[in-house]
Structure 1
Amino acid sequence: MQGRLRRLTRARAAGPATVRCVLCPDIVPSVIRPRRSSRRRPLHGGQWDAALLSPVIVTVLITALAFSTPREFAFSRLLPAAPALAAAMWPVLPTVLLGTFCLLIMIGLSFAYTDLGTPYTAAAIIAVTLAAAYASHVRLQREKTLLHVRLVADAAQKVLLRPLPHRIEDVEIEALYLAAQEQARIGGDFYEAVGTPFGVRLLIGDVRGKGLSAVGTASAVTNSFREAVYDEPDLRGVVHRLEASISRHSSAFPALDLPERFATALIAEIPHGGGRVRILNCGHPPPLLVRRGQIRVVEPTIASPPLNLASLIGDHYCVDTLVFAPGDQLLLYTDGVTEARGRDGEFFPLPQWMRQQGPTPPRDLLDRLHRALVRYSDGRLDDDIAVLAVRCATVQAREQPGRASGKQWSDSQTGNRPCSPE
C-alpha cells in the first residue's frame, strides 16, 4: 500500500494516466499439479477416525509386546501412555475407562510375570489416569470457550462482510475472502454490493494496518457506504461521505502504531438496465475488465486520493465510464491477490492467469482463483484477500452495445469517457 501511495502521488503530478490494454488470445488452461500447502489442515473422515482410535491402538500394541517379549524388556511400563494420549482427544469418562482397562491389563500381567514391579506401574497408571481426566476436562472447557468466540467472530464477520446476493437485477455477483491468519475471520479488507435507486453499487477496499484497529476502520467505511449509496446520486458524493466517516473514526479511535490511517477503495456503479459501468478508484489496485476473451487493466484516467488522505493530496475525484455489455465481467480485488508471493519471490500474475480461464461464471472463477492463490503461495498468505467478480447477465440474440469489431481496445470502442475531476 505504501508503494501505491507513492505511485499515486507521482501520477497526479504527471497528469492523466494512459489506459493499459492487453490482448488475450484464447489459451487452453494448463493442468498444474497442486503443491502441498504448508498450513496444517484439519483432519477429516478416515484420518480423524484413526486419530481417535490411536489410544486404543497404543494400548493393544503395548499389551501385545508385553505378553510376547521377555520380561526383561518390561513393555508394560509404557501402559500409562495410553490414557495420557486419550486426554488430548477423548472426553473424561472414556479416558478414565481406558486407564482402568490398562490397570486391569497390568494386574493380568502380574499373574504371568511376578517380578514386573506391578505396584509401581499400577500406581503410575492411576496417577496418569487422574491427571489425564483433569486435562481432558480442561480441554473440553477451552474448546467450548473457543466455540463461543468463533460464533461471536462469525457474527462480526456477517456484520462487516455480510453474505452478498448472488444477483441484483441483471448483475451477477460473487465474493471471495481469505484471511492471512489461519484462525482469523475478518481483517482490514472489505467489500459490499447494494441495489439502490441509482443502480447496483459496489465497494471494495483495504485499510492500512492489521488487527482490531483495521477492522474498526473497515467497519466504519462499510457502514457509511451502505447509507450513502441510497442518498447520493453521484459517486463523488458517496466518496465524500466515506471520507468524512473515516476521518471521524480516526479522530475518535487513533491508532497508536500508525502515524497515518487510510484506506484504498474502489466504487463502481452499474445503472439500471446495464450497458455501462462507472468507476471511482481511490488509490486501489485497478480492476480487470473481461470481454470476449480479452483482458483490460482499467487504470483511472486521473488518480484519486485514498480515503483519509484528501487533506494531503487533494480532494479531486475522477469517475471513469466504460461500456459494460451482456457477458462482460469485472474483477475487483485487493492487493493481497497481486502481492501473493511464490517460492521464487515473484508476485502472483493475475492478468496472465485471467487470460487462461476463458468464459467462466463468477463463482467458478473465484473458486479457481482461490485454488491458484493457495497453490502459488504454497499456502502462505501474507495479506488478507478480498475479491468481487461481477458479470453482466448474458441476453440471448441481443447485439451487445459498443461491441468492437477488431481486436484492439480503444476509448471509442469501450466507451471510456475522459474524466474531469471535481
Structure 2
Amino acid sequence: MGKREQRRGRRAGEIRNRRLVRALPGLIIAVGLVLDLITPPAFTPVPLFAAAPLIAAPFFSQIGTIRVGAAALLSLAGLRFYGETLFNAVPSIELLTVLTVSVLAVYINGVVRRSNEQLASARVIAETAMRAVLPKPPDRIGGLQVAARYEAAQADEFVGGDLFSVTDTPYGVRLVVGDVRGKGLDAVEAVAVIVGAFREAAEQERSLEGVAQRLERALARESGRRGGLDEAEGFITAALAEIPPGATLVRIVNRGHPEPLLMYSDGALDVLQPELPALPLGMDLGVWPDRADEWALPAGSTLLLYTDGLSEARNADGVFYDPAERLRGRIFPGPEELLSALTDDVRLHTGGVTTDDMALLAIVRPAEGQPERRTTVKIVGLGGGAG
C-alpha cells in the first residue's frame, strides 16, 4: 500500500469516526426518549440526557454543544409535560441537573478549544523551528539533482535528532547526514550546533576531513559551554560527502554512520563501506584521524544517505529493513521518486509503525546523453587533518 492509499484509508477512517461522534449525542437523546416512554415511571433517563452534552463538549463547537444541551433539556421537559409531572419536585430537580451539566459541558468545550489552539500554535512553532534548522534544499545544487526527506516516527512530531544539510561551496557540493544519540530539546540543540558548524566549515575548509574536524571542535565547545553534553546526546553519527566541481567521484568521511548507498543507472548498487571504521563525532576517546574514501560517481548514478531510522525499522517479526536489498535492481526517474518509494516501502515493511525518526538525502548526477554503465573502481583517499 502506497503513501497515498494509506492517507486515503486514514482519512476515510477519520471521517467515519467524526460522523459517529457527531451522531452520538443525538442517538443518546433519542434512546432516552424511547426508554422513558416504554419503561415504568420509576425508571428515569436523566443520566442519558446529562451524558449527551458532556459527550458533545470535546468534539463539537461551542454553539453545537449549547444546541445539544438545549435539545437534552427540552426533550426531558417535553417528557415531563407529556406525563403531567413537569412542575413536581423530582422532575424539577431532573431538569436542574441536566441544565447544570449542560452549562458545565459548555465550559469544558471552551477549555478544550483553548487547549487545542495552544497545541496547534506549539506545533506551528516546532515545525517552523525545525524548518529553520533543517531547511529543504533546492532541487538542483551545483548541477546535481537533490531531494531530502525528514520522516518523524510520530505523525505530529516535527522536532527530532536527525539532520541533513547540503551546500554548494568553492570545493564542490558538500553534504552531511547525521543522527544525534538522543531525543528532545537537547538533541535539537545538538542538531543546530552541527548544522551551523557544517555550513560554516563547508565554505572554509579545503578538505572534507577538515570539515569533520571542525564539527568535532564545535561539539567540544558546546560541551564545555554546557558543562558536558548529556551522555545520550554527547555523540553524533554522521556521514559527510563531497562531490568536486565537474568531477565524476564522491568523497565520503563516515563517522560511525550507516553506510551510504550508490545506485547506478542500470539498477546495480554498491554499499559504500569505509576503508577504516571511525568513531562518531563527539566521542572523546583521543585523537581520531579522519580519512576520506573516494568512489567513482558515473553519470546517472544516485548517492543515498540515511539515518538508522531506516535501516533499523522492523516488521512484526523483528526483521530489520535492508535498504540495499530492497533497492537493488530498481530504477527511479529522480531523487524525489526514490525517497517517496523508499518511505512507502518502509511503511509497508513496518505496517506503518515506526519507533525512530529518519532523515533521507538523495543526490543524482544527471546522465549526459545515454546513462553510463557503472564503474567498479574504488580509490582510497589520503587522510587529511583539520584545515
TM range, smaller chain? 0.7 to 0.9
Q: How does 1:33-72 map to 2 (within 5 A)?
A: 44-45=14-15, 47-67=17-37
Change (3 A) 1:176 1:230: same
Give the corresponding residue for 1:380: 353
Q: 1:357-414 deviations in whole A, cap 9, x for unaligned? A: 33342212222222222232233322221111221122324x73xx45xxxxxxxx33
Give ranges in structure 1 of 5+ residues lacking alignment.
Answer: 1-30, 405-412
Alignment match of 2:174 (pick from 184, 201, 218): 201
Q: Does the aligned pair in 1 maintain the 2:223–2:229 contact within 8 Å?
A: no
Amino acid at match of 1:296: D
CA shift at 1:84, angstroms?
0.6
Change (3 A) 1:62 1:298: same
Alignment match of 2:104 (pick from 131, 144, 160): 131
CA distance in 1, matches of 2:356, 2:296: 32
Q: Does the aligned pair in 2 maintain the 1:199–1:270 contact within 8 Å?
A: yes
Give the corresponding residue for 2:49: 79
Give the corresponding residue for 2:159: 186
CA shift at 1:127, angstroms?
1.2
Amino acid at match of 1:82: A
Give the corresponding residue for 2:288: 315
Question: What secondary structure sits across from 1:319 in the alignment?
Answer: strand
Q: 1:10-32 deviations in whole A, cap 9, x for unaligned? A: xxxxxxxxxxxxxxxxxxxxx89
Q: 1:145-172 deviations in whole A, cap 9, x for unaligned? A: 1122112101210122112212213211
Change (3 A) 1:260 1:110: closer
* Further displaced range: 46-55 or 169-178: 46-55
Q: Indicate whether 1:234 and 2:207 are aligned.
A: yes
Amino acid at match of 2:22: L
Q: Indicate whether 1:306 and 2:280 are aligned.
A: yes
Q: TM-score, normalised by structure 2?
A: 0.88
CA shift at 1:56, angstroms?
3.3
Give the corresponding residue for 1:327: 300
Aligned residues between the structures: 378
CA shift at 1:115, angstroms?
5.6
Q: Indicate whether 1:112 and 2:112 are aligned.
A: no
* Further displaced range: 41-50 or 232-241: 41-50
Q: Does the aligned pair in 1 maintain the 2:311–2:323 contact within 8 Å?
A: yes
Change (3 A) 1:269 1:101: same
* Further displaced range: 85-94 or 324-333: 85-94
Question: What secondary structure sits across from 2:291 in the alignment?
Answer: coil
CA shift at 1:260, angstroms?
7.6
Q: How does 1:246-285 map to 2 (within 5 A)?
A: 246-254=219-227, 257-258=230-231, 261-285=234-258
Q: Does the aligned pair in 1 maintain the 2:255–2:280 contact within 8 Å?
A: yes
CA distance in 2, matches of 1:299, 1:32: 31
Give the corresponding residue for 2:383: 421
Question: What secondary structure sits across from 1:176 in the alignment?
Answer: strand
Q: Indicate whether 1:223 and 2:196 are aligned.
A: yes
Q: Does the aligned pair in 1 maintain the 2:180–2:236 contact within 8 Å?
A: yes
Amino acid at match of 2:185: L
* Further displaced range: 68-77 or 326-335: 68-77
Amino acid at match of 2:378: N
Q: How does 1:136-175 map to 2 (within 5 A)?
A: 136-175=109-148
CA distance in 1, matches of 2:173, 2:34: 69
CA shift at 1:317, angstroms?
1.0
Q: Does the aligned pair in 2 maintain the 1:302–1:419 contact within 8 Å?
A: no
Give the corresponding residue for 1:17: none
Q: Does the aligned pair in 1 maintain the 2:2–2:344 contact within 8 Å?
A: no
Give ranges in structure 2 of 5+ residues lacking alignment.
Answer: none
Q: Does the aligned pair in 2 maintain the 1:63–1:76 contact within 8 Å?
A: no
Amino acid at match of 1:417: I
Question: What secondary structure sits across from 1:305 in the alignment?
Answer: coil
CA shift at 1:284, angstroms?
0.9
Amino acid at match of 1:239: A
Amino acid at match of 1:335: D
Question: What secondary structure sits across from 1:89 in the alignment?
Answer: coil
Question: What secondary structure sits across from 2:379 in the alignment?
Answer: coil
Q: 1:199-218 deviations in whole A, cap 9, x for unaligned? A: 21111001122222111111
Give the corresponding residue for 1:338: 311
CA distance in 2, matches of 1:93, 1:255: 54
CA shift at 1:420, angstroms?
2.7
